[in-house]
Structure 1
Amino acid sequence: MRDETRAQRQLQIEEAAYALLGEKGYGATSMLSVARVARASNETLYRWYGDKRGLFKSMVETNARDIRAALRDAIDCGADPLASLEKVAPVLLTMLLGEKAVLLNRAAAADETGELGAALAEGGRNAVAPLIEALLRQSMESGAIRAPSAATAAEWFLGLLIGDLQIRRVIGVLPEPGADFVADRVAGALAAFRVLCANAS
């Protein structure tokens, strides 16, 4: 199967999985039900994803693909770290507050096995946070910011950017924010982050 054809089929499979996740939850969503809705063979799903956890981990990774790529590019090309974060932060925040991420987090909260939560952590935060940490380490090495460690700086930045917004989205008290909200939130988070880093000992 050609790469573009496989990518298109994977997108259809993942969209089917999202639909079933919203309707039935993680526990009641099976590989067979996803295959049926996506009009794919059960064998194909197991060959491509391994198992249900692998399918949902792939969905998380797909959702975060653009952020990971942008962060890797910034690290590799040696761009100004804070300017790079300013560009990446709106994409990150929009993804985290988007319908797919909210659906995954709601389902993970209801999954008593913890399997979906583990897939979310592995394919999401555990893949993105180290890249933010690496970018901020470059900024610390250049003397642009100060922090006890790059890991702490990344925690500060993510805390200021996200806060309780995703939790409020997951419990349904915050509507999906528009571009103006995201831009204001990013500007405020970066301003506070610079002050915090300037005062760090």
Structure 2
Amino acid sequence: MRQENRARRQQQIEEAAYAVLKEKGYAGTSMLAIAKRARASNETLYNWYGDKRGLFCALVARNADEVRGDLEASLKQGRSALQTLAELGPKLLSMLTGTRAVALNQAAAADPTGELGAAISETGRETIAPLIRQVLEQARDTGNLSFEDPQDATELYLGLLIGDLQIRRAIGRQPELDPDYIARRSELALEYLNTLLSPDGTFATP
């Protein structure tokens, strides 16, 4: 199969997977149901993805592809860490609160096996967070930020950027975020991070 045809077919399969997931939940979703919805063979799905968990890991990975790729490129090219974070914020927040991430999180919350939640964590957060940690370490090494524990700094940044928005989106208490809001929140997250982790330790206290 030619590469462009395979890519188009994968997109159809993955769109079918989201549709079946929304209807049946993760436990009720089967490779056969997805294959039928996508008008593909069950054999094709197993050949390409291995099993249901592999398919949903691929969905999570594809959802995070742009963010992961940008972070990897920035680290490889040695770009300014703070500029990387400025560009990362809107993309990461959009991805984590977007309709596909919400669908996956809602299904994971209702999955009694915990399998989907594990796939989301392993393929999403556990892939992206270490890259953010490297960017923050780079900012520390160049004197832009000051902190002792890179993991704490990473959690601080993610907390400032995301807060409880992901949870509120998943439980239906937060509508889809407006691009202007995403941009402003991302700016504020970086501004607060700079203040709290200022190298000279000068920031306002309550």
> Take 1:169 and 1:135, find their aligned partners in 2: how far apart are those partners?
27
Shift of 1:150: 2.0
| Match in the other structure for 1:22 | 22
> Take 1:27 and 1:123, find their aligned partners in 2: how far apart are those partners?
19
Counterpart of 1:142 in structure 2: which amino acid? T
> Take 2:35 and 2:72, find their aligned partners in 1: how far apart are those partners?
33
1:53–1:116: 8 Å Cα contact kept in structure 2?
A: yes
| Match in the other structure for 1:126 | 126
> Take 1:178 and 1:73, find their aligned partners in 2: how far apart are those partners?
27
Counterpart of 1:145 in structure 2: which amino acid? L
Q: What are the equivalent positions in structure 2 for 1:23-172 lying under 5 Å apart?
A: 23-172=23-172
> Take 1:110 and 1:40, find their aligned partners in 2: how far apart are those partners?
27
Shift of 1:141: 1.0
Shift of 1:8: 1.0
Q: How many residues align?
A: 200
> Take 2:9 and 2:111, find their aligned partners in 1: how far apart are those partners?
27
Counterpart of 1:52 in structure 2: which amino acid? K
Gaps spanning 5+ residues in structure 1: where? none
Deviating above 4 A after TM superposition, structure 1's stretches of 4 or more consecutive aligned residues are none
> Take 2:95 and 2:173, find their aligned partners in 1: how far apart are those partners?
18
Shift of 1:42: 0.4
DSSP 3-state at the match of 2:135: helix
Gaps spanning 5+ residues in structure 2: where? none
Q: Percent identity?
A: 54
Shift of 1:60: 0.2
> Take 2:60 and 2:132, find their aligned partners in 1: how far apart are those partners?
18
TM-score by length of 2: 0.95
> Take 2:90 and 2:47, find their aligned partners in 1: how far apart are those partners?
35
